[in-house]
Amino acid sequence: MILADYSSEHPIFIDANIFLDYTLPNTEFGGFVSDFLERVELQDIAAITTPAVLNEVSYILLLQRGMTILKTENKDTVRIKIKANGHFSHLCYDAVDTFNEFICGLDGLKLIPVQPEDYLLASDLGRAYNLLPIDALHLSAMRRAHIRNIATRDRDFERVDGIVVWSP
């Protein structure tokens, strides 16, 4: 399904790649994602995500900022320097702070917690649908919250029964 066509009273779960397409930005999908997130901000769409998704985005933004500053593609170099150099770490975390400010301004976005039972169920879901652990954790939280729609470019979710995938 096409994300631009999403119009439902039911909430939609937002996966990490949607936020990343907006914040990095992605030239192919950024415009579609920007329009979608504007609809979330205006509360035309009820959107849900978890701190696990936001953490996933933050980690990637942190590394991207470090790679840009160091002019490298080597993520290990960035990780090492973040741990060793407070000034560099602060510079990298500026990207996370900017993202957090953006998230706080999305009035139509609700954060739901990841519960211990989500973690335990994720293993079963990962096996059942051949998902990586983080995606299985997202699916588990969605199931607990009775969310059947997901905004993502991750085609792995298309294998999941009872989930409608909406992509830019």
What is the pLDDT at residue 100? 98
Predicted confidence (pLDDT) at residue 134 exceeds the cutoff of 90: yes
At 128, the pLDDT band (50, 70, 90 cuts) reads: very high
At 116, the pLDDT band (50, 70, 90 cuts) reads: very high
Is 65:91 a contact under the CB 8 Å cutoff? yes
How confident is the model over 56-95, as pLDDT tens digits?
A: 999 999 999 999 999 999 999 999 999 999 999 999 999 9
Average pLDDT, the chain: 97
Within 8 A by CB and 6+ apart from 90, the residues are: none
Predicted confidence (pLDDT) at residue 109 exceeds the cutoff of 90: yes
Is 4:168 a contact under the CB 8 Å cutoff? yes
What is the pLDDT at residue 8? 85
pTM: 0.95
